[in-house]
Amino acid sequence: SMVRLEAFAEVESTNDYLLEQAPPPIRRFRVALADFQTAGRGRMDRRWDAPPGSGLCLSIAYTFQRLPAQVSALTLAIGQALIDGLARSGYCGIKLKWPNDLMAKNRKLGGVLTELRTGGAPTVVVGLGLNVDFATVGGTLPARAIDLRSLGDRPIDRVLLTATVIECLHSCIAGFERDGFAQWFDRWPEYDWLRDQQVRVDTGNGAMEGIAAGIDRDGAMLVLADSRQHRVISGSVVPVADANP
Ligand code: BTN
């Protein structure tokens, strides 16, 4: 159950905020959200910038009793759970770009940033940045981005959306602690935005091109290149069509 929910008009980063706070007790969670972040962070040291009120900047901290086996795949399960939740709210056709980008109409709708703090009981902080409605606050969407409002035909009830997202994140993390990644793994092909695309992978120690071929049971991405299957554990992946426009 939830121990605390805090909503800020402005904060540096909801992930940083929760990482600085005392961790929730075992199997409990705590949420922070903000209208605006001054130092929002994305994966791989990128920034996450969004005009005030344009979207959802929300993080949840959860303390596991024991670290789940395939915790590196938690980000994937979270993305899948969010896609399910948004579909139930009437937003269909959203896909996941390994490992953490929510994609709609081939544009980025949002991103997930998962961070783990170990030492004592392991605490995970999962942050979601979701583009909700840029036009209403007079904002312009970045290139290759899209917001939820453009996917539907009516204004968005942000309170309801926030509640849906919190419920989704919490039940996904608690379910993952119980059952691991297996069930999400089986359903991965339904969500996989990169599948069969020619991609460029940059792992930090070299780049490679190949065909995206799904994931393995640990959540590593599989890429076919030089008639071999390569496992990618972390790195950036872009469709070659986007890399050389
Ligand atoms: C990405 O696209 O690489 C992930 C973006 C994650 C952004 C969210 S917004 C709430 C939380 N706080 C942060 O500083 N980052 C995450």
Q: Which two tokens stand for residue 14?
A: 């909801």
Number of H helices, E strands in the chain: 6, 12
Asked if omega into 99 is within 30° of 0 (cis), the reply is yes
pLDDT at position 245 is: 52
Residue 55 in contact with ligand 1 by CB distance below 6 A? no
pLDDT at position 119 is: 86
pLDDT at position 210 is: 98
- Phi, psi for 165 (deg, rounded to 5): -65, -45
Angstrom distance (rounded) from CA 100 to CA 42: 10
For residue 111, report the distance from its CA to the centre of ligand 1, in Å. Answer: 6
Q: Which atom of ligand 1 is nearest to the CA of 14?
A: 12
pLDDT at position 104 is: 98
Beta bridge partners of 58: 33, 128
As averages over each run of 10 residues, the pLDDT of the chain (245 residues) reads 95 98 97 98 95 97 96 97 97 97 98 94 97 95 95 95 98 98 98 98 91 97 96 94 68
Residue 41 in contact with ligand 1 by CB distance below 6 A? yes
| CA 46 from centroid of its chain's CA atoms | 14
Residue 28 in contact with ligand 1 by CB distance below 6 A? no
Burial class (CB in 10 A: 0-12, 13-18, 19+), 90: exposed
pTM for the full predicted model: 0.96
Q: Which atom of ligand 1 is nearest to the CA of 44?
A: 3
Closest CA to 99 of 88, 89, 113: 113
Q: Which atom of ligand 1 is nearest to the CA of 37?
A: 14
